[in-house]
């Protein structure tokens, strides 16, 4: 059985940059959800 679920981890130089990357990925429908650490802030469609 194969799975289409993929986890991608990306580092960012700041929380602001992480939010920009996460928002862009979710808005472009490249990700269903993006979670940012520390504090586990999530962005979803």
Given a contact cutoff of 8 angstroms between Cβ atoms, the answer to whether 36 and 42 are in contact is: yes
pLDDT (0 to 100) of residue 1: 66
Which DSSP symbol is given to 13?
S
pLDDT (0 to 100) of residue 19: 94
Count Cα neighbours of 1 within 13 Å in the Cβ-side half-sphere.
Answer: 2
Phi, psi dihedral angles at 43 (to 5 degrees): -125, 130
pLDDT (0 to 100) of residue 5: 83
Given a contact cutoff of 8 angstroms between Cβ atoms, the answer to whether 40 and 33 are in contact is: no
Q: pLDDT digit of tens for each residue in the chain (45 aa)?
A: 677 888 899 999 999 999 999 999 999 999 999 999 888 999 998
């Amino acid at each position: 059985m194969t799975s289409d679920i993929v986890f991608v981890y990306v580092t960012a130089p700041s929380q602001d940059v992480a939010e920009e990357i996460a928002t862009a990925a979710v808005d472009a429908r490249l990700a269903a959800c993006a979670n940012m650490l520390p504090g586990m802030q999530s962005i979803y469609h």
